[in-house]
Amino acid sequence: TTPSLLILPGDGIGPEVMSQVRRIIDWFGDKRGLAFDVSEDLVGGAAYDVHGTPLTDETMERAQAADAVLLGAVGGPKYDDLDFSVKPERGLLRLRKEMDLYANLRPAQCFDALADFSSLKRDVVAGLDIVIVRELTSGIYFGEPRGIFQEGNERVGINTQRYTESEIERVARSAFELARRRSNRVCSMEKANVMESGILWREVVQKVHDEDYPDVELSHMYADAGAMQLCRWPKQFDVIVTDNLFGDLLSDAAAMLTGSLGMLPSASIGAPMANGRPKALYEPVHGSAPDIAGQGKANPIACILSFAMALRYSFDQGDEAERLEAAVEKVLADGARTADLLGEEGKTPVSTTVMGDLVLEALDSS
Ligand code: NAI
Ligand code: MG
């Protein structure tokens, strides 16, 4: 049966970048015979405007049933004063939570043509290709007790870092599976020197490795040392697996190794469905960019690369994913730049649509 793909363009530049991805999806259908059953729905402010909620139950059900969900971005100043319960971001949080997407994959990949754009030296980042796997549904952002409490004559703010063995085990498995498709190396990061959850993390990751993934090269690093190594020589890594909090920080730091927000894709993966495919949501890392929305300036590459991740991880089309990534690389090597990739250079930027045109042309000649 034809695999299904639910598209949720969302708000701001979300629909602008997604319309370029739609053209690319059509290209793979026409030229490569990759048919998808594509449907589109509302999320975020766009859903609130029509339904009074950032994600309807019907959309939630369609997301649960889809083989993959591709999302643009949500939010914007128009919705800033809404009640917390109907804010656009709540739509995205509900998707992640109800689909139980526990492994967040954040690649940090540096296209050679953009290496001088990084905040680090060219030889440190050129050709960089690593993935950070961040645990997304547990840890200190969710642990109980949490809150601000009165304690004697002052208040105390409390969050609890809490991980069960099974929560650690499933995200470790995701990281090992991912490593097998790549350079077969996993570095697990925690702070086992000062945190009990870190001691358990290290123990469980090692056990999953020894029992089921002895072929993968596993190392452990304290997360603070890991942060240092990530800036010093990031190419030493292949897959990094870490908890929710450390992953949040490390993946944002890693993102800056590669330049613009407009380039960064992500995937959030859950448990396998009945057909063997994992539950999965693919989205660019960036938000709805209200400052440039509606002006044709948005860089569609983050969203395009998110679709490449869907090809690879949901649809087992690794070769076609590489074809798409190579097309993006060629366009950049030929010098095309959206405004966010120009920095101080005095060149003329290309528009969102022209960037889409160029990627399609590069695909045609691939
Ligand atoms: P943002 O990522 O939307 O924008 C930050 C800066 O990067 C802006 O200057 C923007 O113009 C630029 N930028 C982002 N994506 C770009 C692209 N594809 N091409 C060129 N330039 C790009 O983050 P910000 O401004 O903090 O948030 C704006 C709205 O987006 C807020 O409502 C926020 O809540 C929401 N947001 C949504 C996310 C999501 O849907 N996953 C993630 C982050 C923020
Ligand atoms: Mg963050």
77 CA distance to ligand 1 middle (Å): 12
148 shares its domain with 252: yes
Atom of ligand 1 nearest to the CA of 13: 18
Do both 76 and 20 map to the same domain? yes
Q: Has 252 been annotated as catalytic?
A: yes
Distance between Cα 293 and ligand 1 center (Å): 10
Number of domains in the chain: 2
Let me know whether 14 and 32 are in one domain.
Answer: yes
Q: Does residue 253 lie in a domain region?
A: yes
Give 282 Cα–ligand 2 centroid separation in angstroms. 16
- Domain edge (last residue) among 257, 291, 307: 257
**Is 212 known to be catalytic?**
no
Q: Distance, CA 299 to ligand 1 centroid (Å)?
A: 11
Give the separation between CA 211 and CA 160, rounded to whole angstroms: 30
Cα torsion 118, 124, 127, 132: sign? negative
CA distance 330 to 326: 6
Predicted TM-score of the model (pTM)? 0.94
Q: Is the Cβ atom of 340 under 6 angstroms away from ligand 1? A: yes
Is 213 noted as a catalytic residue in this protein?
Answer: no
Residue 149's CATH number: 3.40.718.10
With contact defined as beta carbons under 8 Å apart, do 105 and 306 qualify?
no
Residues 274 and 157 occupy one common structural domain: no
> Per the domain annotation, does 362 fall within a domain?
yes
Euclidean distance between CA atoms 344 and 169, whole angstroms: 46
Provide the token pair at 6: 């639910």
Whose alpha carbon is nearest atom 44 of ligand 1? 287
Q: Which residues contact 196 (CB under 8 A, 6 or more apart)?
A: none
Q: Which residues contact 274 (CB under 8 A, 6 or more apart)?
A: none
Q: Which ligand is nearest to the CA of 247?
A: 2
Domain presence at residue 241: yes
**Domain annotation covers residue 94:** yes
Q: Are residues 77 and 56 in the same domain?
A: yes
Which atom number of ligand 1 is nearest to the Cα of residue 77? 32
Cβ atoms of 11 and 294 closer than 8 Å: no
Pocket test for ligand 1, best of 81, 90, 261, 332 (most atoms within 8 A of CB): 261
Closest atom of ligand 1 to CA, residue 80: 32
Query: Token pair of 353, please?
Result: 């649509």
143 and 215 co-located in one domain = yes
297 annotated to bind ligand:
yes
Identify whether 284 is part of a domain.
yes
Structural domain contains residue 114 = no
The bound ligand whose nearest atom lies closest to the alpha carbon of 46 is 1
Three-state DSSP class for residue 301: helix
269 lies in the same domain as 328 = yes
Are residue 145 and residue 225 in the same domain, yes or no? Answer: yes
Secondary structure (H, E, C), 110-159: CCHHHHHHCCCCHHHHCCCEEEEEEECCCHHHCEEEEEEEEECCEEEEEE
CA–CA distances in Å: residue 131 to residues 109, 328, 366:
8, 19, 26
The boundaries of the domain holding residue 55 are 1-106+262-366
C-beta 289 within 6 A of ligand 1: yes
Domain end position, chosen among 196, 222, 257:
257
What ipTM does this complex have? 0.98
246 and 271 inside one domain = no
From 257, 275, 306, the end of a domain falls on 257
How does pLDDT run along the chain (366 residues), one tens digit per residue? 899 999 999 999 999 999 999 999 999 999 999 999 999 999 999 999 999 999 999 999 999 999 999 999 999 999 999 998 999 999 998 999 899 999 999 999 998 888 887 778 888 998 899 999 999 999 999 999 999 999 999 999 999 999 999 999 999 999 999 999 999 999 999 999 999 999 999 999 999 999 999 999 999 999 999 999 999 999 999 999 999 999 999 998 888 887 788 999 999 999 989 998 999 999 999 999 999 999 999 999 999 999 999 999 999 999 999 999 999 999 999 999 999 998 766 789 999 999 999 999 999 999
287 is in an annotated binding site: yes
Shared-domain flag, residues 135 and 59 = no
Tell whether 291 and 191 lie within a shared domain.
no
Judge if 169 and 252 occupy the same domain. yes
Could you tell me if residue 121 is inside a domain?
Answer: no
Distance CA 59, CA 366 (A): 36
Is 113 within a domain? no
248 tagged catalytic: yes
Is 89 annotated for ligand binding? yes
